[in-house]
């Protein structure tokens, strides 16, 4: 690591999948993994290209069951470019002598550079330098420049570039029993002497895909079309010390794009009009410069380097171009095929960061949920409920995409998957609606689409709650919480748990917040919404009652993860660590032993403690007071300690949440968890999973940890609220935000002081709230404030 580059030295096949994920280039519209262009998909390499929102659904036979799965499609590979000395085999790092190899990811410019020196014997060396970009200004373009230099010999180098339509979805080993052949009707052709094209479509969703590639070199280009590839070849004369160059410029369109008539014609026209590599690089750099200014983060040391890498990958997945797309937040980015490109609850960790930098992108991601509100209402009706039930996994149309079976690679067994019972996704959608509107001031969205989603989610929770005469409280039964390990009671014939604390408390928050929003709506709009949804006064009264009487179980003076959690057996944590070492995926270990994690007080990741991630201490205490329950500092401290000892951290989100919660509580050990969150992908802590795609929620969450977690930053009541926590390992840091029309508001915390700079504009002053005072900062002013001890 250096300040703005990410470098890999040497070539090791075992590291390639991880490097390919972390060196992915994208622009929000599409992304391409950082595979070497001369290498095809095999056990070592996996070149993949994915367009946001491009899904296809196929049915497979698995373990005697017909299983339907929708995947984010691996599109035709635009990357192939191989080379050899005339008459010799094609060179690859797996078959030939590599003297030196280096890959450098330039974060400032979104450029992937590679340098390799191939030893050819008898003192001959071929030096290869490549620079690659996926254009951030024009989301349909990508380019690859390759430079060849002969050392100690003269001769000819033959270069072959291709568009390859023979690709499949095969990047995740545990999915290989599923049908991954999504492309059909592959055709290729020649558009001009230097330009070839490929068109195809997806098998079920019928998305048409068009690619065009232009090859530029100082020699004639020869074109061939062996099915299913379009191939261009050129021979270049090499003399010692003289560099020759081949440029490949590619355009990609699909039938999901607006303002085109045909994706193939659009791709051919775009690549024909595209300038040369240097001019493309200039405009690409300008777009990245603008992005870094809008989302800038100033943190020193190794933590700062990793945070910049995380921000880079967040911006490649969710860029300003995303604002024009109908897409959600893919949990693994556009970087690989894990989770099949589906949308989970990870937006809960992503949107709070985007709200204060790219609010137009947050709005677009919420529109993805609103467009699928009718599907969520249909899902609720299907289980006999009113309101909206958002799916645990979503894809193209908002239906539940969660698999019915999942493979335990440790035991080799296919097992029932009950994670669709994680109905708390609706609460995440509601939370993001509210956070976005508070940060952006977008009253129009809150009064229209936001209020519609809030109302239907609240309606679902109220209709899901049943009154227990014995407890004198409402209960929500048959769900699964964020922990995911526990999906049933030991020996129970049916899956599901009762009164998951996270689910019930967030449901209470949704109900209370929705009532507040309804009361604040302009009367004409409230009347429209009430008429459209047939909302009656008695229903609102029910919401009020349920929001105050949902059951939150306790045991041993701590909040129970769910009712009955305290009755489970204790696990021999030391024994399992001694036996297995890494026990992050304790569920798989126990299942392979013929046991089940459902028997034990053991959590995969934060569940109860997620409440301390979403809500400030004062807001969380207020929620419990509304429920008629006491939550003081001692109870919360005991709860935190209790689950710290019983969590295996089998998710990249777990370290993030624990670090956040400990930091807000000013507890020792916070930085160790923050470091684990920072290392999650770069060190591949989950054991090979990063090579299948980054963990976008965890990456964005680490950025938000700096932005909101350590600063206590909240956007509410028309003001910025700050309550910074001291972290000795991070004494100074800064960032800029976009807040309610103010662009580039700069905050910096350093040695007990807070500095806020508000750029000149015609906007109103920013009201700042600290624990001990209120400050108003005018546009064009900088204020430096001493923080209370």
Helix H, strand E, coil C: the string for 53-70 is CCEEEEEEEECCEEEEEE
What is the spatial distance between Cα 298 and Cα 736, in angstroms, rounded to a whole number? 9
Q: State mean pLDDT over 334-360.
A: 97
Q: What is the mean pLDDT of residues 212-222?
A: 98
Q: Percent of the chain, pLDDT > 70?
A: 100
Over residues 288-312, mean pLDDT: 94
Query: Has residue 491 got a pLDDT over 90?
Result: yes
**Closest to 110 (Cα-Cα) out of 28, 209, 12:** 28
CA distance 569 to 565: 9
Please confirm, yes or no, whether 717 is among the known catalytic residues: no
pLDDT at res. 730:
85
Nearest 10 degrees: Cα torsion 592, 598, 600, 606:
100
Q: Can you give the pLDDT at residue 67? A: 86
Cα–Cα distance, 678 to 299 (Å, whole number): 13
CA–CA distance, 679 with 573 (Å, rounded to integer):
23
Q: Whole-angstrom Cα distance, residue 23 to residue 691?
A: 11
Token pair listed for 763: 């906007």
Q: What is the pLDDT of residues 705-741, one digit of tens each?
A: 999 999 999 999 999 999 999 888 888 999 999 999 9
Dist. CA 136–CA 496, nearest whole Å? 45
CB contact at 8 A, 346 and 369: no
Cβ burial of 671 (10 Å; 0-12, 13-18, 19+) is middle
pLDDT at 275 exceeding the cut of 80? yes
Residue keyed to tokens 């977008």:
442
What does the pLDDT read at residue 404? 86
Digit-coded pLDDT (tens) for 356-386: 999 999 999 999 999 999 999 999 999 999 9
Question: Tens of pLDDT along 424-476?
Answer: 999 999 999 999 999 999 999 999 999 999 999 999 999 999 999 999 999 99
Place of tokens 């108003």: 776
Mean pLDDT over the full length of the chain? 96
Q: What is the pLDDT of residues 18-29, one digit of tens each?
A: 999 999 999 999
Torsion of CA 727, 729, 733, 735, to 10 degrees: -70
- Positive or negative, the CA dihedral 58, 681, 484, 386 is negative
Distance CA 728, CA 663 (A): 11
Q: Is the pLDDT of residue 407 over 90?
A: no
> What was the pLDDT predicted at 63?
77
End-to-end CA distance of the chain: 35
Which pair of tokens denotes residue 423? 């109905």
Instruction: Count Cβ atoms within 10 A of the Cβ of residue 695 and give its class: 0-12 exposed, 13-18 middle, 19 or more buried.
Output: buried
Q: 766-770 and 719-721: which strand pairing?
A: parallel
The whole-number pLDDT of residue 729 equals 86
Note the pLDDT tens digit of each residue in 92-108: 999 999 999 999 999 99
Q: Is the pTM of this model over 0.95?
A: yes
Q: 506 and 390 in contact (C-beta within 8 Å)?
A: no
Closest among 206, 325, 191, 327 to 270, alpha carbons compared: 191
Token code pair at residue 632: 């003081």
Give the single-character DSSP code of 394.
B
Per-residue pLDDT of 32-78, as tens digits, reads 999 999 999 999 999 999 999 999 999 998 878 888 999 999 999 99
496: left (phi over 0), alpha (psi -120 to 50) or beta: left
Structure letter (DSSP) for residue 174 = G
- Is there a contact between 605 and 657 (Cβ–Cβ < 8 Å)? yes
Query: What pLDDT digit, counting tens, does each position of 516-567 carry?
Result: 999 999 999 999 999 999 999 999 999 999 999 999 999 999 999 999 999 9
HEC sequence for 249-280: EEEEEECCCCCCCCHHHHHHHHHHHCCCHHHH
Going by C-alpha positions, the residue among 366, 385, 368 that lies closest to residue 377 is 385
CA distances from 277 to 246, 293, 456, 621 (A): 10, 24, 50, 57
> Alpha-carbon distance 110 to 291, whole Å?
11
The 3-state DSSP composition of the chain as helix, strand, coil percent (nearest 5) reads: 35, 25, 40
CA angle 396, 693, 296 (to 5 degrees): 95
pLDDT of amino acid 668:
83
Structure tokens at 401: 């995409």
Angle, alpha carbons 15-19-24 (nearest 5°): 160
- Other C-beta atoms within 10 Å of 222: how many? 13
Instruction: Calculate the CA 683 to chain-centre distance.
Output: 18
User: How sure is the predictor about 1, in pLDDT bands with cuts at 50, 70 and 90?
Assistant: low
SS3 assignment for 68-133: EEEEECCCCECCCEEEEECCCCCCCCCCCEEEEEEEEEECCCCEEEEEEEEEEECCEEEEEEEEEE
pLDDT computed for residue 296 by the predictor: 81
Q: Which residues pair with 720 in a beta bridge?
A: 715, 768
Q: How far apart are CA 378 and CA 180, in angstroms?
A: 29
Alpha-carbon radius of gyration of the chain = 27
Query: Which pLDDT band, with edges at 50, 70 and 90, does 655 fall under?
Result: very high
Helix (H, G, I), strand (E, B) or coil at 521: coil
d(CA 183, CA 112) in angstroms, rounded, equals 28
Q: How far apart are CA 489 and CA 480, in angstroms?
A: 11
Characterise 557 by phi-psi region: left (phi > 0), alpha (psi -120 to 50), beta (else): left
- Helices (H) and strands (E) counted in the chain, each on its own, are 21, 33
Q: Find the angle CA(463)-CA(468)-CA(470) to the nearest 5 degrees.
A: 170
- Dump strand ranges (E) for 225-358: 229-238, 243-254, 297-299
Catalytic residue among 484, 676, 692, 714: 484
Element (H, E) at 685: none
Phi-psi sector, 195: left (phi>0), alpha (psi -120 to 50), beta: beta
Select from 464, 642, 475 the least CA-distant residue to 568: 642
Between CA 373 and CA 548 the distance in angstroms is 26
Instruction: Give the tokens for residue 757.
Output: 């700079």
Segment 666-693 shows an average pLDDT of 91
735/357 Cα distance (integer angstroms): 10
Residue 158 bridge partners (DSSP)? 84, 235
Residue 495, C-beta contacts closer than 8 angstroms, at least 6 positions apart: 416, 418, 421, 478, 480, 487, 488
d(CA 446, CA 517): 8
Q: Is 284 helix (H, G, I), strand (E, B) or coil?
A: helix
The predicted model gives 591-620 an average pLDDT of 95
Q: Is the Cβ–Cβ distance between 623 and 508 less than 8 Å?
A: yes
The answer to whether 756 and 783 have CB atoms below 8 angstroms apart is: yes
Contacts of 715 (CB under 8 A, 6+ apart): 355, 356, 435, 438, 439, 721, 739
Q: In what order do the strands lie in the sheet with 25-26?
A: 25-26, 30-32, 49-51
Smallest CA-to-CA distance from 362 within 447, 439, 444 is with: 439
């Amino acid at each position: 690591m250096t300040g703005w580059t990410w470098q890999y030295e040497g070539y090791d096949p075992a590291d390639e999948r991880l490097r390919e994920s972390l060196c992915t280039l994208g622009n929000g519209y599409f992304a391409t993994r950082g595979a070497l262009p001369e290498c095809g998909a095999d056990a070592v390499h996996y070149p993949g290209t994915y367009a946001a929102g491009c899904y296809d659904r196929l049915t497979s036979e698995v373990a005697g069951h017909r299983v339907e799965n929708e995947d984010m499609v691996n599109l035709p590979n635009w990357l192939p470019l191989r080379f050899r000395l005339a008459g010799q085999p094609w060179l690859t790092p797996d078959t030939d002598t590599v003297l030196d190899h280096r890959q450098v990811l330039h974060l400032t410019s979104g450029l992937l550079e590679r340098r390799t020196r191939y030893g050819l014997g008898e003192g001959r060396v071929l030096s290869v330098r490549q620079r690659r970009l996926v254009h951030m200004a024009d989301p349909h373009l990508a380019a690859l420049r390759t430079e060849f230099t002969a050392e100690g010999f003269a001769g000819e180098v033959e270069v072959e570039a291709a568009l390859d339509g023979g690709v499949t979805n095969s990047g995740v080993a545990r999915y290989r029993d599923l049908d991954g052949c999504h492309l059909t009707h592959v055709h290729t052709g020649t558009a001009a002497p230097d330009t070839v094209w490929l068109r195809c479509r997806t098998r079920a969703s019928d998305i048409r895909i068009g690619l065009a590639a232009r090859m530029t070199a100082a020699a004639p280009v020869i074109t061939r079309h062996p099915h299913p590839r379009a191939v261009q070849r050129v021979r270049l004369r090499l003399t010692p010390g003289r560099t020759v160059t081949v440029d490949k410029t590619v355009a990609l369109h699909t039938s999901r794009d607006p303002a085109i008539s045909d994706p193939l014609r659009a791709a051919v026209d775009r690549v024909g009009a595209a300038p040369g590599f240097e001019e493309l690089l200039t405009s690409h750099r300008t777009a990245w410069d603008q992005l870094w200014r809008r989302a800038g983060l100033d943190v020193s040391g190794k933590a700062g380097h990793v945070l910049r890498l995380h921000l880079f990958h967040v911006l490649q997945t969710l860029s300003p171009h995303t604002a024009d797309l109908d897409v959600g937040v893919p949990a693994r980015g556009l970087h690989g095929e894990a989770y099949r490109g589906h949308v989970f609850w990870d937006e809960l960790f992503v949107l709070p960061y985007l709200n204060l930098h790219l609010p137009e992108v947050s709005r677009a991601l919420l529109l993805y949920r609103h467009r699928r509100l009718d599907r969520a209402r249909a899902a609720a009706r299907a289980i006999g409920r009113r309101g909206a039930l958002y799916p645990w996994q979503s894809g193209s149309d908002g239906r539940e995409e969660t698999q019915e079976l999942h493979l335990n690679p440790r035991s080799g067994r296919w097992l029932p998957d009950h994670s669709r019972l994680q109905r708390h996704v609706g609460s995440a959608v509601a939370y993001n609606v509210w956070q976005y509107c508070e940060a952006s001031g977008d009253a129009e969205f809150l009064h229209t689409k936001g209020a519609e989603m809030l109302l239907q989610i609240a309606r679902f929770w109220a209709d899901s709650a049943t009154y227990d005469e014995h407890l004198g409280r409402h209960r929500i039964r048959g769900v699964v919480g964020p922990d995911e390990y526990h999906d049933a009671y030991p020996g129970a014939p049916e899956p599901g748990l009762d009164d998951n604390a996270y689910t019930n408390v967030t449901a209470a928050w949704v109900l209370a917040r929705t009532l507040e929003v309804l009361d604040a709506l302009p009367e004409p709009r409230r009347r429209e919404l009430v008429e459209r949804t047939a909302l009656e006064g008695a229903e609102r009264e029910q919401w009020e009652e349920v929001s105050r009487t949902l059951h939150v179980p306790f045991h041993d003076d701590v909040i129970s993860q769910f009712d009955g959690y305290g009755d489970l057996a204790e696990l021999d944590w030391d024994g399992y660590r001694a036996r297995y070492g890494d026990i992050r995926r304790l569920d798989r270990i126990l299942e392979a032993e013929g046991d089940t994690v459902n028997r034990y007080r053991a959590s995969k990741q934060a569940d109860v403690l997620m409440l301390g991630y979403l809500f400030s201490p004062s807001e969380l205490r207020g929620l419990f007071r509304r429920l008629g329950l006491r939550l003081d500092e001692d109870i919360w401290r005991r709860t935190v300690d209790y689950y710290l000892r019983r969590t295996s951290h089998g998710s990249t989100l777990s370290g993030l949440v624990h670090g956040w919660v400990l930091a807000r509580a000013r507890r020792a050990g916070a930085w160790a968890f923050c470091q684990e969150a920072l290392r999650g992908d770069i060190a591949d802590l989950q054991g090979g999973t990063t090579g299948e795609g980054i963990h976008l929620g965890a990456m964005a969450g680490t950025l938000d940890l700096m932005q909101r977690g350590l600063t206590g930053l909240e956007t509410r009541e028309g003001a910025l609220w700050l309550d910074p926590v001291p972290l000795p390992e991070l004494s100074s840091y800064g960032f800029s935000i976009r807040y309610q029309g103010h662009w580039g508001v700069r905050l910096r915390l350093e040695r007990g002081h807070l500095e806020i700079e508000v750029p000149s504009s015609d906007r109103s002053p920013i009201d700042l709230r600290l624990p001990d005072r209120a400050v108003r900062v005018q546009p064009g002013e900088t204020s430096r404030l001493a923080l209370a001890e």
